């Protein structure tokens, strides 16, 4: 197998959607859909009336039409809802319902199906290790749709290769859960038996390639040597990448702006990485043809590129965000802040300073604190032995009542709601408040203007990105 030189990064919640992945894949590279909060995105699109009928068309091929009927009955609204008053889906818990798991399977199936529809290019999915509870079901749905690559970051995805191996055989798969305060002999996990959701004798799945996102040689070696199942390669993500960054090795050091400081130990030694004998792609600022050539010269199979694709016409960002962002970049006025406190995960999170979004403190303090999606909730063991769920972005009183550290809650932002707002799926409330956006980009943000074909242009396409990136080969 010849792997692609360019991987289009899996960004945000629905920024890397099926349209973007399809466009990149049809050009001969790896198009990736982000499956973060995919079930919420899926059901809100249905509540918007499924304009164009794409979801309904994809669901016709799903191997369990009872699941399709359930989802349609629960969430589809002909003509769409008003005032962004979306119906919530249940939050994942350790004993999540069959219906919620089934919906997660269907949601990723639909996204991958649409990305692969009508061509023979390759498509991948990106999921976050930090959001473990839905991942078994998201992975299986994507595999039912024929996904070619699975890319996992934001943590140590040690168990995922073995999970993929099991699901490729329609065997039961398990994923252990990280529970704060758990005893060494506690065993908390999610379980998936494919036969509970489809007739496994009537469907076939292939084993996709698995790529782990790593930020250190130690993590790469751990994955290569100790992970159950097959690891097929690595995406090496540097601190300049958008979204969540790995914390620096030296904790507690900040620059004048309050951003964490990264040093030489936070960069992967590519010579050591090559000794593992697995392909790797470099990510984080690799947005020019010259940088791609440099990556190949270092022995990389290619690069993963995010921010340039995030603002092309095919991506899921709202047109308003794209217009504002491209205007900033054309003037070289975009400012990116690596926020050490914004993400409930505790990981540093890159934020584009954009008017009217939660990047502005005034907008942040106006937002009523609430946790109603729950993807980033942390599990903890209660005194009675049961499992509790808490999020630093929920009301501070609720968080501390569950044993949370108030310092961690102080500047924490609800990424779940903000990322859905970024793609036009913001929740509206009875009091008139509509969830605000929070845009994440890489440090190379201002270079997105390079992909405009003329100074007068106000937009660009995925093809413009590919053509400029691949100029080194011409």
Joined tokens for residue 235 = 């995406």
Task: Let me know: does 133 contact 191? Beta carbons within 8 Å.
Answer: no
Write the DSSP symbol of residue 194.
G
Task: Let me know: does 104 contact 132? Beta carbons within 8 Å.
Answer: no
Rounded to whole angstroms, how far apart are CA atoms 366 and 253?
30
- 34 strand-pairing partners: 126
- Helix (H/G/I), strand (E/B), else coil: 335: coil
Helices assigned H by DSSP within 152-259 = 160-168, 217-226
DSSP secondary structure string for all residues of 77-96: -TT--STT-PPPPPPP-TT-
DSSP secondary structure string for all residues of 302-323: EEEE-HHHHTSTTSSS-HHHHH
| pLDDT score, position 241 | 84
CA distances for 107 relative to 40, 111, 141, 284, angstroms: 9, 6, 7, 29
Place of tokens 């899921």: 316
| pLDDT score, position 155 | 83
- 7 strand-pairing partners: 30, 304
Joined tokens for residue 230 = 């097959």
Rounded to whole angstroms, how far apart are CA atoms 114 and 22?
8
Rounded to whole angstroms, how far apart are CA atoms 114 and 95?
30
Rounded to whole angstroms, how far apart are CA atoms 444 and 98?
43
Per-residue tens of pLDDT for the chain, all 474 residues: 689 999 999 888 999 999 999 999 999 999 999 999 999 999 999 999 999 999 999 999 999 999 999 999 999 999 999 889 999 999 999 999 999 999 999 999 999 999 999 999 999 999 999 999 999 999 999 999 999 999 998 888 989 999 999 999 999 999 999 999 999 889 999 999 999 999 999 999 999 999 999 999 999 999 998 889 899 999 999 888 888 888 888 787 888 888 999 988 888 899 999 999 999 999 988 888 899 999 999 999 999 999 999 999 999 999 999 999 999 999 999 999 999 999 999 899 999 999 999 999 999 999 999 999 999 999 999 989 899 999 999 999 999 999 999 999 989 999 999 999 999 999 999 888 999 999 999 999 999 999 998 888 889 999 999 999 998 765
Place of tokens 């007068």: 456
| pLDDT score, position 249 | 83
| Beta strands at 173-176 and 179-180: parallel, antiparallel or unpaired | unpaired
Q: For 231-278, what is each residue's pLDDT tens digit?
A: 999 999 988 888 888 888 878 788 888 899 998 888 889 999 999 999
CA distances for 343 relative to 35, 151, 255, 352, angstroms: 18, 21, 19, 14
Within 40-130, strands assigned E span 123-128
What structural domains does the chain harbor? 6-315+454-473 (3.20.20)
* Residue 253 dihedral angles phi and psi, to the nearest 5°: -110, 125
| pLDDT score, position 37 | 96
Task: Let me know: does 370 contact 394? Beta carbons within 8 Å.
Answer: yes
Say how many CA atoms lie within 13 Å of 127 toward its Cβ. Answer: 27
């Amino acid at each position: 197998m010849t792997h692609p030189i360019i991987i289009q990064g899996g960004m945000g919640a629905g920024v890397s959607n099926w349209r973007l992945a399809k466009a990149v894949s049809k050009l001969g590279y790896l198009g990736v859909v982000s499956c973060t909060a995919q079930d919420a995105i899926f059901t809100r699109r249905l509540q918007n009336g499924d304009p164009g009928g794409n979801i309904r068309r994809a669901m016709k091929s799903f191997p369990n039409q009872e699941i399709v009927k359930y989802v349609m009955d629960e969430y589809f609204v002909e003509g769409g809802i008003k005032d962004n008053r979306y119906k919530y889906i249940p939050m994942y818990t350790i004993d999540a319902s069959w219906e919620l798991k089934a919906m997660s399977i269907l949601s990723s199936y639909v996204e991958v199906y649409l990305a692969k529809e009508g061509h023979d290019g390759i498509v991948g999915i990106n999921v976050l290790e930090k959001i473990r509870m839905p991942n078994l079901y998201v992975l299986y749905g994507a595999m039912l749709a024929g996904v070619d690559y699975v890319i996992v970051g934001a943590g140590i995805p040690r168990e995922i290769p073995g999970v993929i191996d099991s699901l490729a055989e329609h065997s039961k798969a398990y994923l252990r859960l990280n529970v704060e305060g758990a005893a060494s002999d506690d065993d908390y996990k999610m379980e998936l038996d494919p036969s509970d959701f489809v007739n496994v004798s009537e469907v076939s799945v292939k084993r996709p390639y698995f790529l782990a996102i790593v930020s250190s040689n130690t993590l790469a070696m751990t994955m290569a040597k100790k992970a159950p199942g097959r690891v097929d390669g690595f995406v090496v993500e540097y601190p300049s990448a958008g979204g969540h960054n790995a914390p620096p090795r030296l904790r507690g050091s900040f620059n004048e702006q309050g951003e964490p400081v990264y040093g030489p130990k936070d960069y992967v030694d590519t010579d050591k990485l090559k000794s593992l004998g697995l392909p790797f792609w470099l990510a984080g600022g690799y947005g020019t043809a010259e940088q791609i050539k440099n990556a190949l010269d270092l022995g990389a199979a290619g690069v993963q590129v995010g921010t340039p694709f995030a603002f092309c016409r095919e991506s899921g960002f709202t047109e308003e965000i794209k217009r504002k962002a491209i205007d900033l970049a054309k003037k070289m006025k975009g400012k990116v802040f690596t926020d050490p406190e914004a993400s409930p995960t505790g990981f540093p999170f890159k934020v584009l300073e954009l008017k009217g979004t939660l990047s502005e403190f005034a907008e942040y303090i106006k937002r009523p604190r609430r946790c109603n999606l729950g993807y980033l909730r942390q599990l903890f063991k209660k005194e009675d032995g049961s499992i509790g769920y808490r999020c630093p972005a929920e009301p501070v009183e609720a968080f501390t009542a569950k044993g949370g550290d108030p310092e961690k809650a102080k500047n924490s932002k609800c990424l779940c709601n903000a990322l859905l707002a970024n793609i036009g799926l913001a929740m509206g409330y009875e009091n008139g408040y509509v969830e605000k956006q929070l845009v994440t980009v890489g440090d190379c943000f201002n270079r997105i203007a390079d992909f405009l074909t003329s100074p007068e242009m106000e937009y660009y396409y995925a093809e413009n990105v590919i053509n400029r990136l691949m100029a080194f080969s011409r």
